[in-house]
Structure 1
């Protein structure tokens, strides 16, 4: 069974307040946990939800019958960057899709992740955000439904800082700045996006890391997470990501285009610890 441990930090905490107020768990998940009596003490006895608990009480939050649908596959090449009972951070190689397009697809990162999770006795893994197929870097994965609910909300409220390193064609004039341009679908191309007044709000902050003879290395921080956002924004400025031919790169680059999700930072919603994860 998928589960996690928690020790109360102050006198009078209740399961009800933790789940509904402090963690703001999804109504469906919280209701199911209550019906299943799946919150227990260290001895495995169900805990009354509204009973004030002494500081230091050990609780076990269980999730009966939760299973992710990804078919588990060998995970020999899976690179785990960091994990705890709630979240797994892995490195996604360029060229590998995050998840299958159709169930029960195979050959994706989530298939490998599911193999890893099952090897540890778990049954649940759902990605919190996405990376384009040819973008490498850090991907966050929830290990239980409550974590998925909390991190989805944090992502929506811009409480997960996501940084990318990109190599751009040409010399970007400004040393730092913000690109605030809405992004919508390109009516002439099924997968391409474009800057469009009728599109969704899209904001990218950037700073120059290094200037090379023909390219510029930048760090970009997402304030929003639109499809292809970094690629679209810099291409619109006339500086496409090196090798990104979908958005007009004229550089013949070996392998994938030069874009990596290099850093993720957030305050952990359960432990309250500042968590900063970076690629090596």
Structure 2
């Protein structure tokens, strides 16, 4: 299903899976039982040191994802390899279905692309609010999903956003550390709350206008509505984000765009930087 080239002398399959990729015990056990790792069409001894440059092959059963494919894929693919793809989600489109019959979300469109190319598995690694447009990372097999999930948790996938906010921030850059929890009085709204989940947002002002400024934001954590809540907490809600106290715009939208994803690819061992227009 995919190949991997050993990039350090003496690495064993056991070390690759458990130490380097840090896969869970269940996945490692399933791969071992399925004799999923081969070299020159022969099973590999899991504790045998391999030379740098050795190419091994992974082949195992991949479950089918449950997303109903759309008739036509209408999201733009910005990057793709055999392990993942990065798509540009339009504003107004949900990342994934919230009801079993939802069939026009970003993941439904992604599944159309996957099926058209002979696959049947796609799972999003993170999510974007419906009103946020931009880059979404999708895993194409369960090993990739496991590794990318961990990378999100460990903050080694850097997600950069652009937002236009009301007013002008006093400082050119800063870090917001404020826990976020649910608003007891509003079902979908979030608030800064001492007993909420820890949340850290880094920002840098890149343009200043009369009455607004544009900031680039890097998420250290990924809480629901995090950027929206944190910017409002500073007294500078995102332009058009009426849920968090901003004035309504003519379009009725708010201006938040996931503009860049950057990470070291765990399978290709190279730096991947993808930007959205």
Match of 2:259 in 1: 262
- Partners of 2:73 and 2:112 within 8 A in 1: no
C-alpha distance in structure 2 between counterparts of 1:24 and 1:277, whole Å? 25
List runs of 5+ in structure 1 lacking aligned partners. Answer: none
Match of 2:115 in 1: 118
List runs of 5+ in structure 2 lacking aligned partners. Answer: none
Distance change in 2, residues 1:55/1:159 (3 Å): closer
- Partners of 1:128 and 1:142 within 8 A in 2: yes
Q: Return the match for 2:105 from 105, 108, 125.
A: 108
Per the TM alignment, residue 137 of structure 1 is displaced from its structure 2 partner at its CA by: 0.6
C-alpha distance in structure 2 between counterparts of 1:24 and 1:171, whole Å? 44
Alignment of 1:83-232 (within 5 A): 83-232=80-229
C-alpha distance in structure 1 between counterparts of 2:176 and 2:190, whole Å? 16
With normalisation by structure 2, the TM-score equals 0.94
Per the TM alignment, residue 10 of structure 1 is displaced from its structure 2 partner at its CA by: 4.1
Secondary structure of 1:254's partner?
coil
Match of 2:2 in 1: 4
Per the TM alignment, residue 56 of structure 1 is displaced from its structure 2 partner at its CA by: 3.2
- Partners of 2:23 and 2:147 within 8 A in 1: yes
Q: Cα deviation per residue 1:14-40 (whole Å; 9 max; x = unaligned)? A: 322211222111222221121111222
Aligned length: 277
Per the TM alignment, residue 159 of structure 1 is displaced from its structure 2 partner at its CA by: 1.1
With normalisation by structure 1, the TM-score equals 0.93
Q: Return the match for 2:79 from 79, 82, 90.
A: 82
Match of 1:35 in 2: 33
Q: Cα deviation per residue 1:220-276 (whole Å; 9 max; x = unaligned)? A: 111111110110011122211111111111132315310001111111222221211
Distance change in 2, residues 1:62/1:196 (3 Å): same
C-alpha distance in structure 1 between counterparts of 2:189 and 2:276, whole Å? 28
C-alpha distance in structure 1 between counterparts of 2:37 and 2:119, whole Å? 17
Deviating beyond 4 angstroms after TM superposition, the runs of 4 or more aligned structure 1 residues are none
Match of 2:18 in 1: 20
Per the TM alignment, residue 53 of structure 1 is displaced from its structure 2 partner at its CA by: 3.5
C-alpha distance in structure 1 between counterparts of 2:203 and 2:104, whole Å? 33
Per the TM alignment, residue 54 of structure 1 is displaced from its structure 2 partner at its CA by: 4.2
Per the TM alignment, residue 173 of structure 1 is displaced from its structure 2 partner at its CA by: 1.8
Secondary structure of 1:266's partner?
strand
- Partners of 2:73 and 2:110 within 8 A in 1: no
C-alpha distance in structure 1 between counterparts of 2:222 and 2:8, whole Å? 37
- Partners of 1:8 and 1:57 within 8 A in 2: yes
